[in-house]
């Protein structure tokens, strides 16, 4: 980094069960705040390798998610510097190691030490917890169409957020109110 580049970036992660609008929310927030967002690598991996994944596949997904996040971080900082914007750059991230931990434990009853270590090492500024109150949208990668399972996963995410010190916000309801509540929360966080 040269001396004109910011030394820090604001990172906000969207988490929650599948089909709760995380990607849509990250894209909308990135557009609103004139930045970029980091996509979920798992979709790319599962489209290429199929949905019959193993415990070790989740480690590969986690490692690649972090690489994707690091590239997106650099890109967000460069975009911020080029634009001459005030304040710190911001990056919205669809999925982090907390998601990978819950996925590993929910499906396999165990979590890779690599993922646990990265949870401790990686620093974020806040979380947006997407509630499973949107209609489930079927696609070839989604596993849990039943609300009972999605609700159980949602509570795993919520428990994780309650038991850590970072600020977080529950994103619920329909758009445009759903997105606006997230925008308002991010604005308050940036103050």
In sequence order, the 6+-apart residues with CB closer than 8 A to the CB of 82 are none
Residues 116-135 have pLDDT tens digits of 999 999 999 999 999 999 88
Cβ pair 93, 72 in contact under 8 A: yes
Of all residues in the chain, the percent with pLDDT exceeding 90 is 83
Q: Which two tokens stand for residue 19?
A: 């089909």
- pTM of the predicted model, to two decimals? 0.93
Q: How far apart are CA 55 and CA 57, in angstroms?
A: 5
Residues 15-63 have pLDDT tens digits of 999 889 999 999 999 999 999 999 999 999 999 999 899 999 999 999 9
The structural domains of the chain, ordered by start, are 10-190 (3.40.50.300)
Q: What is the mean pLDDT of residues 92-113?
A: 97
């Amino acid at each position: 980094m040269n001396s004109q580049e910011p030394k820090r970036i604001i990172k906000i992660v969207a988490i929650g069960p599948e089909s709760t609008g995380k990607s849509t929310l990250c894209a909308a927030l990135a557009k609103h705040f004139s930045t970029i967002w980091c996509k979920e690598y798992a979709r790319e991996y599962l489209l290429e390798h199929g949905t019959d994944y193993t415990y070790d596949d989740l480690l590969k997904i986690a490692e690649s998610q972090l690489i994707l996040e690091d590239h997106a971080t650099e890109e967000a900082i460069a975009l911020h510097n080029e634009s001459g914007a005030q304040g710190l750059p911001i990056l919205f991230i669809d999925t982090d190691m907390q998601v990978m931990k819950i996925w590993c434990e929910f499906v396999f009853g165990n979590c890779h030490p690599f993922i646990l270590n990265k949870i401790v090492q990686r620093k974020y500024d806040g979380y947006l917890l997407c509630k499973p109150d949107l209609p489930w949208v079927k696609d070839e990668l989604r596993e849990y169409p039943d609300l009972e399972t999605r609700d159980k996963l949602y509570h795993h995410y919520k428990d994780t957020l309650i038991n850590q010190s970072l600020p977080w916000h529950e994103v619920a309801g329909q758009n445009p109110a759903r997105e606006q509540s997230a925008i308002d929360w991010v604005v308050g966080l940036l103050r």
